[in-house]
Structure formats: structure tokens, C-alpha cells
Structure 1
Amino acid sequence: MTDRPTAPQGGAAKDGQWTGAFRFIFAAAVINAVSFGIMIPVLPNLIKQFTGGDTAAASEWNVVFGAVWGVMQLFCGPVLGMMSDRFGRRPILLISLAGLAIDFLFMALAPSLAWLFVGRVINGLTAASFSTANAYVADVTPPDKRAKAFGWMGSAFSFGFLVGPALGGFLGDIDLRLPFFVAAGLTTINWFYGFFVLPESLPPEKRVAKFDWKRANPVGSLVFLRAHADLLGLATVGFLFQLAHTVLPAIFVLYTGYRYGWTPGFMGLTMMATGLAGVIVQTLLVGPVVAKIGERGALLLGAAAGATGFAIYGFAPSGWIYFLGVPVFALMNFLQPGLQGLMTRRVEPSGQGQLQGANQSLQGIASVIGPIVFGLTFAWSIRHEGIVHQPGLAIYLAAGLLVGAFLLALRVGRAPRAVAEAA
């Protein structure tokens, strides 16, 4: 599996070479994002169906599923990241895609909440497709082009939200289980694409010599972050972003259904509009804007825009006001390319997988805390609406987290010291 031809490396590759290698992983990321996006507008409604139509109870079960997935990621993210440094990116990507396909099948066939729980556990154990893809990008992209490349990778995720939720909402209006079968099929196609087409990006001579269990755990990940100058502060910014970002997956479907009466189909169209705005920012604006304001400027712009967009979403008393926040919120897509560009510059090629594994571990922590905080806050706010009348309270909390990320980024987002790229 690992003796496939390798993609050219970013440190020595010419522009045409790294662009060609980048196209491979970008295509895989797009297919993965579409399959993931398909399930977004329908999974909470499937959970709600199992709870007898109780929105608050569905929110609480969403908390359980999100927390379990996050715990799996907390412990497995560093392991998969180090495995990609030791054995290459491609086999880890294939493992991750296989786990995602199995999870979708569990959702499609689940006769009870217990089945959904098992599927979430399997997916959490193997979920590393986006973090491995980011390590792949760092492998094949020159350091000065990484922010733009990470912007394009972000657009792959946004494209998934452009196409996936709209398709999922349409299919969900026909049959609530149909979107999961389609998502499983797309993920299986992506697995075959990875097996037969995707080249390996990390050649044997650039891999770590052995797998070190001491570093392949959450504590080891934090030690790794502390061992690199200024990396821990940036990782904290990323953690605050990831924590804030969990609010919409945790409550969007239930929140908009409760507050605005939106159907799954309309929710899918809303996600499509959000995804389109994100694609425009990530493909057309990230490159030229980062060239003008730098990676630190992009990081600050993304954090400020995200906080403002969340504030609008939480305040919006009607659907049309909610839509006013979409173009503002889309500018948050500057944050991740700027952050990834700054972080990958501080790490040598053989450590890119461990870096992404550490980020995945922090995302796991965020995925444990976020659904609990936001899901329970939303459930509490709607159960006490007669007293508080703040159904957007959870989204206000997310806005506050991004304000904190902005203030921290002011201090830790300065230009990195050079890290030698292996030839």
C-alpha cells in the first residue's frame, strides 16, 4: 500500500510539480467534504426522530455523540498523525475514509440510537482525513505558498457545504435515510480513488525512523507543541477557533428549525449559500489578501470576522437578518490558512504529521467540550425561553471565544523563525 509513487516535495519541487501533486489531494478532500456535508442537515433530525420529536432531548443526544467522537479524536488523533509521519500519508487517509464509510452505513441502517453511537465511535477512532490532507499539503507545497494552498483546502470543505447539505436536504425530504446511503457511496468511491490514484507525498527518507508511543498521545502532543518556539500560543488560538466552530454543527439544525421554522431542504440551501461565500473567500481572496497583509493579518481578520458573524447569527430574530451575517462570517475563512501557514513554517518536514495530529487532538478536546457547552446551553435556553428569551445564547458564547482568539493572536502571531526544509 505504501510503495506507490511519491508526489514531489515542497522543499525542492517546482511550481508545476507541487501544483500537480496538490490537485490529487484537493480532489480527495472535495469528495470527502461533499460526503460529510450530505449528512449535516439530516443527522440531527434522525436523532430527533428517535427521541419522539423532542428538540431539547435531541440536542442533549447530539451532545453525547459529539463528546464521544471528540474523546476518540483526543486519543487517536496523535496516533494517526505520528503513523502518517512513520508510514506515509496515503495509508492513514485510506484508513480514515474506510471508517467514515462504515459510519455512514451505520447511520443509514440504524434501528436505534445505540447503532448511531457505535458508528460515531468507529468514525472517531479513524477520523484523520482532513488533518492528514493538511500534512500532505505541507509535504508538497513550498512554505511561502502554504497559506494559499491551505485556503484552497479550506475551500474544499466549503465546497462540501456548498453541494453536500443542499443535496442532503433534498434527499432527506424524500427519505431521511437516503442521504446516508449516498454519502457512504461517495466515501467508498473516494477510498478507491485514494487506493488507485493518489500518490504518496512523504518518501521513506523523510519519515521518522520509528513510531514513538511516548509522543503519540495527548500529553505527548502538548509536549511537541511546547518544544517549538511560539507554537503553543498559535495552537491555543486554533483551539479557541475549533471550540467556537463546534457551535453550528452542534445546534444549527435544531436552532434554525426552532427559531425560524426552517425545513431540512431550506437548511441545506442556507448551508449552500454559506459554503458559496466560503469558497469565494478561500479561492479568490486568500491568496492576494495574504500577500498584502501577511499570515498574521489573515489570522486576525478571520478571528474578528468570525466573532462578528457569530454575534449576528445569535442576535438575528428573523431568517433574513441571519442571512446578513453570512458574508461577514465567510471572512472567518482567512483564519485557518493564516494559522496553518504560521504553524507549518515552525516544523520540519518529518514532523508535519505530528503537528497535524496534535492539532487533531486539540480538535478532539474541542469536540468534547463544545457540544456539551453549546448543546446544553441551547437546550437550557429554549427550556427557559419564557424567562431568558435568548435562544442564541450558545452562539454568543462562540463569538466570545473568537474575541479571545483575536486578542491572543495579536501577541503570538508574529513572523516565524525559519525552519530548514529537508532537501
Structure 2
Amino acid sequence: MSTVFALMQFLFGPLIGNLSDRFGRRKVLLVSLSVMAVDYVLMGIAWSIWLLLAARVLGGITAANHSTASAVIADVSKPEERGANFGLLGAAFGIGFILGPVIGGFAAEWGPRAPFFVAAVLAGAIALYGALAFEETLNEKNRRTFEWHRALPWGAIAQVSQFAGQTRLLVVLFFQEFAFIVYPSTWAFFTFAMFGWENWVVGLSLGAFGAMMALSQGVLIRVVIPRLGEQRTAVLGLSMEFLSFVGIAFAPATWVIFALLPLSALGMLAGPAMQGIMSRAVPDNAQGELQGVVSSVRAIASILAPSVMVGLFWVFSDEGWMFTFPGAPFVLSALLMLIAIRIMWGYGKRITG
């Protein structure tokens, strides 16, 4: 179900992004939010695994509206402010990372289906709020004709890659997302194997990470980018991720993990900074397309990374076929960050040269 959800984001991210470049952000967001509400109702009433899977397909399509939300940020921001403002979306995800499980946990007291109905109500309420309060952000002069070949993932990627430096940045984004998947895919396994954490400690650590991520992307990024610039901020973020992955892989005690969480959150500065660079490189009438491509690239990583990370954890676990080293997936993530840093550093050299 996780794979098919990410697959739909890969396939439909560019389509929804291109539709928003043609018809505007408001219509796309309102329709996708309304369908999302219906999707949660379907999951709540699902009487078979196949209906639940079909709902996940629909959910993956509607979740591709993240690209449109990012395009809204690009529409309303000055080019030099886009990187910092993209951080607001990351901060929103960080807050949701904290509140979502809490709301779902309380709702689950009413039964295992209740969280889905609560989510449906929230999605419907957001759609209603958007219909009443959200104004269109895409000017008529920045709208362009819809072209099917640009709405397909490979066509959109080819289109965006024509702009200088975009291919490099897409590769860096892919490596960053692939490395980050180590958290949702192996965190509970890793912390139990290393330190015997109970579920509440796992939840506490994830909540703390979400809070720090919101602070990093919502507040700190507005201080760092004006001082360092977007390219150096991206390198700084990737470097912090590298250090945190290495530290977690070889952490000797629980307190070290919690001490490293701020470092992990600082790593989240890289994504918005890179999006800011990419957004300035494409015309205003292709911001939705660009963000759709970003969504697709991240979705590819979300499809591939869980199996790789969990498989690597198993290979180096007590039941695997090599020596025991639960931190192996984090070492892989650290190596990917080294590659990403090298590419990003080379990008900066090319620009300044």
C-alpha cells in the first residue's frame, strides 16, 4: 500500500502540476482536497483489503497536490525569498507530524476506523475553508497551454532538465529523499534492536524530531539563507544530515540519539534551499510543472528506499546472514549524503566559476 501510494505520486505529480499551470492553483487544490475527503471515507468503510488498496491509489493521486501547494509559494514570493518560504511548507509538515498521530491516537479510542473518518472531516473542512478564503495566486499572464507530453513524468523531467543545473539538483533531491526514508522505514526496528525502546519512546523521539523540523524550516531557515545564500545553506543542511546519520549509526546510548535530533532537523534546511534555487531557474508559467517533477523524483525514492533500507537492516540483524550491525541503513544514508554534498558543492563551483 505504501508503494502504490508513492507510485501514484510519481505518475500524477507532474500532471497535477501542469494542470495548475493551466487552470490555476485554487481549482486544483479544492478538487484534490475534496477527493481526499472522499478517499478517507472509503478507507473508513473499506470491507476488504482490495478496497483499501484502491483507496490508497486515490489517496496517492490526491497527495500529489503537494506540488501545487509549493507552486503557490512560488507565485506569492519574491524569487530571493522562495527558499525561505518553501521552508514554511516543511514547518507545516513538521507540525502535522506531531499533531496527526496524537489526533489519530485519540480517535482510535472510538474504534480502528474512526481515525479515517476524522481525517475525512478535516480534509473536507480544509476544502471548505479554501473555497471561502483562498484566492487564486496564478496570474492570467503566467498561464500556459496544457500539453500532455509535459504532463507525463518522463516528459516533465525532460522539460525541466533543459534548464541549467536542474538535473544536478534533481539528483541531489533524490539522494536526500532516499536517505531520509531510513527514518520511517527502520526507526522503530533500529531503536528496539539497539536500545530496547518501547513504543512510547519511539513516539516521543518522532514528536521531538517533528517539533525541531518545524522550528528549523519555519524559523531558522529565514536567518540562515539571507546570511549564507541558498547554495551554501543546501550544503550546510546536507552536511548536518551526513553527521547525524553517522552519529545515529554508531550511537552508544539513548541520550546520544536525542542529542543528535537537532542535527537531524538542521539537515532539513537543504530541501527548501534547493527548491528555491530550482524555482528561480524556471519561468513563472512552469512553477507547477517544476514542483510536480520534484514530487515525482521524491516519489521514486519513496518507492525504492523502504525495501532497500529494511532489507539492509535485516541482512545485518541477528536473523540475517552477516554480522550484527543495526546501524547499517544509516551508514548507507550517510554515504548517499556524501555523494549529494559533492554534487551540490560542484554545482556551486560551476555557478561561481
Answer yes or no: same fold by TM over 0.5. Answer: yes
Give the aligned partner of residue 218 of structure 1: 153
- The gaps in structure 2 that reach 5 residues or longer are none
Alignment of 1:21-420 (within 5 A): 65-169=1-105, 171-172=107-108, 175-208=111-144, 210-256=145-191, 259-316=194-251, 318-382=253-317, 384=319, 387-413=322-348
Tell me how far apart the structure 2 counterparts of residues 254 and 76 of structure 1 sit (CA, whole Å): 32
- The gaps in structure 1 that reach 5 residues or longer are 1-64, 418-423
Tell me how far apart the structure 2 counterparts of residues 75 and 269 of structure 1 sit (CA, whole Å): 34
Shift of 1:171: 4.8
Tell me how far apart the structure 1 counterparts of residues 97 and 327 of structure 2 sit (CA, whole Å): 22
Q: 1:194 to 1:387 in 2, by over 3 A?
A: same
**TM-score, normalised via structure 1 length:** 0.76
Tell me how far apart the structure 2 counterparts of residues 84 and 163 of structure 1 sit (CA, whole Å): 29
Shift of 1:214: 1.2
% same residue: 35
**TM-score, normalised via structure 2 length:** 0.90
Shift of 1:76: 1.1
- Is the contact between residue 166 and residue 265 of structure 1 (CA under 8 Å) also seen in structure 2? no
Q: 1:413 to 1:284 in 2, by over 3 A?
A: same
Shift of 1:157: 1.1
- Is the contact between residue 16 and residue 28 of structure 2 (CA under 8 Å) also seen in structure 1? yes
Q: 1:99 to 1:239 in 2, by over 3 A?
A: farther
Q: 1:247 to 1:95 in 2, by over 3 A?
A: farther
- Summarize deviations over 1:218-237 as a string: whole Å, max 9, x none: 22122112210111111111
Q: 1:255 to 1:81 in 2, by over 3 A?
A: same
Give the aligned partner of residue 25 of structure 1: none
| Count of aligned residue pairs for this structure pair | 352
- Is the contact between residue 21 and residue 286 of structure 2 (CA under 8 Å) also seen in structure 1? yes
Q: Which has the higher helix share?
A: 2
Shift of 1:283: 2.6
Shift of 1:252: 2.9
Shift of 1:135: 0.5
Query: Residue type of the partner of 1:155?
Result: A
Tell me how far apart the structure 2 counterparts of residues 165 and 256 of structure 1 sit (CA, whole Å): 19
2:229 partner SS: helix
What is the root-mean-square deviation of aligned Cα atoms in Å? 2.5
- Is the contact between residue 316 and residue 322 of structure 1 (CA under 8 Å) also seen in structure 2? yes
- Is the contact between residue 190 and residue 326 of structure 2 (CA under 8 Å) also seen in structure 1? yes
Tell me how far apart the structure 1 counterparts of residues 349 and 274 of structure 2 sit (CA, whole Å): 11
Shift of 1:159: 1.4
Q: 1:392 to 1:322 in 2, by over 3 A?
A: same
